[in-house]
Structure 1
């Protein structure tokens, strides 16, 4: 299934008995915003508690480590998601934040029928997709069938070993100022992993917030990857969330889904490993 759905495409199939809409907006007031208004029938997921497992020390796994797969499978059951469900997820960051993370996690558990809404919540409102308020009641089911995370991830040790190997490419998707070490608004130390290259996730988007076309994305990333195999690509961000948007973009471009370094800069910058600055 194509990983992106346009608002007009969602309008054409809405509602459908197999369609499960997921609201993955983030921020301290995200739940309040959801209760005030959300796409009709959409169920809310929380990045901090549903899509990550908090640890006492971000140096061990970063700020948003993956939850145990059994916990995620239970969450999917509570959301009424089965292997037959067509899941569409949106956020308020043009699909580039928790929506992409939820997409990646569903693909990683083995679910194929999942799409991110292009342009996110604002695009849906502009397309006159119906909204509702309050809470929705899902058809609670048993846990989603699962065994292990099926998509490739990279550990901090692997990143350290491969970041400066010319046969591999580590892509940092944070904005350029954070990569260069000019500013760091979230983590403790500014800079980047030595050997990593900077391709901000924001460059996957048009000025209006829609994703670039598959052809544009393919040209962009083919140029960056050179002759490297997709399995030799590792993508990271600050905490393993917006990196998923680049994985989404690459999949949309037909380039497959490279490895996700979940711990990302939030883990690396706390590990006493080398830190580079500049371009």
Structure 2
């Protein structure tokens, strides 16, 4: 898959709403501090034919972390019941517009080896603003005959454990990019989830995920993205890049942006600050790595 195939616009999707080989997934999710119910939002307005991909459900049930990547067998069981399977192009979007949860879904499919997955640029808000149709009402579960076979494959981007991030404190073989807002990175703003400590992993650079979006929540150009990475001290070269955030969701915005700019192998530290900020590990504060 090329970068241009990973980001599609509303006109492209509107012309293919009835295509039999495209599966549309609404991955809307909100922070714990946001009172909105993503499933209610889905019932009130969604792209016709979309099914709900719950990033809070497609997780490792054995983990205490909010968004731990599930084992391949768990992932395939979840997505096959949404009609996503081998030979299908998956299009993901969310109601935030900025695409953070949609990009998490995109990254998860790629981590399981499914390359034919794309994000809708600007999400549901731009889809509606551009005059494209929506539907409402409860989602009807697919009958078992409509489930699709999904084959997990190796070779996708890696999930990085905390032990590897700890080792990198001294090895410094990878660049760690923190996608949280600057205030959370500096330790001057509270976390949306319980945290013993505030700040960032020592040496991590700050790449707030919001910086990768235009005012209308569409994604910035590859040239602009490369400039953002370079300015933060994370040039998109052969150096390994690991993204993190609060729970591994907006980290995938960093991974997606890097993909558009030509770096396809960005790993994600799934535990992110939810794990690091509640462990007895080194913590740095302030605006600098």
> TM over 0.5, yes or no?
yes
Tell me the residue number matched to 2:113. Answer: 110
In the TM superposition, what is the alpha-carbon distance from 1:95 to its structure 2 partner? 4.2
Match of 1:155 among 161, 166, 191: 161
- Matches of 1:216 and 1:14, distance apart in 2: 31
The 3-state SS of whatever aligns with 1:115 is: strand
In the TM superposition, what is the alpha-carbon distance from 1:180 to its structure 2 partner? 0.3
Tell me the residue number matched to 2:75. Answer: 72
- Matches of 2:81 and 2:179, distance apart in 1: 32
Tell me the residue number matched to 1:268. Answer: 276
**1:168 aligns to 2:174 (yes or no):** yes
- Matches of 1:30 and 1:196, distance apart in 2: 31
Alpha-carbon RMSD: 2.0
Tell me the residue number matched to 1:123. Answer: 126
Q: Which runs of 5+ in 2 are unaligned?
A: 31-35
Taking a change above 3 Å as real, the CA distance of residues 227 and 244 of structure 1, as seen in their structure-2 partners, is: closer
Contact 1:41 1:136 in 2 (8 A): no
Tell me the residue number matched to 2:33. Answer: none
**1:183 aligns to 2:186 (yes or no):** no
In the TM superposition, what is the alpha-carbon distance from 1:166 to its structure 2 partner? 4.6
Worse-matched range after superposition: 22-31 or 256-265: 22-31
In the TM superposition, what is the alpha-carbon distance from 1:12 to its structure 2 partner? 2.8
Query: Could you give the per-residue CA deviations for residues 92-145 of structure 1, whole angstroms, max 9, x where no partner exists?
Result: 222432211110111111112111111111011112222111214546325411
Taking a change above 3 Å as real, the CA distance of residues 148 and 256 of structure 1, as seen in their structure-2 partners, is: closer
Contact 2:177 2:242 in 1 (8 A): yes
Contact 2:95 2:125 in 1 (8 A): yes
**1:225 aligns to 2:238 (yes or no):** no
TM-score in terms of structure 1 length = 0.90
**1:17 aligns to 2:20 (yes or no):** yes
- Matches of 1:6 and 1:267, distance apart in 2: 35
Worse-matched range after superposition: 269-278 or 150-159: 150-159
Tell me the residue number matched to 2:261. Answer: 253
Mapping 1:197-212, distance limit 5 Å = 197-212=205-220
The 3-state SS of whatever aligns with 1:105 is: helix
The count of corresponding residues between Structure 1 and Structure 2 is: 273
Contact 1:168 1:228 in 2 (8 A): no
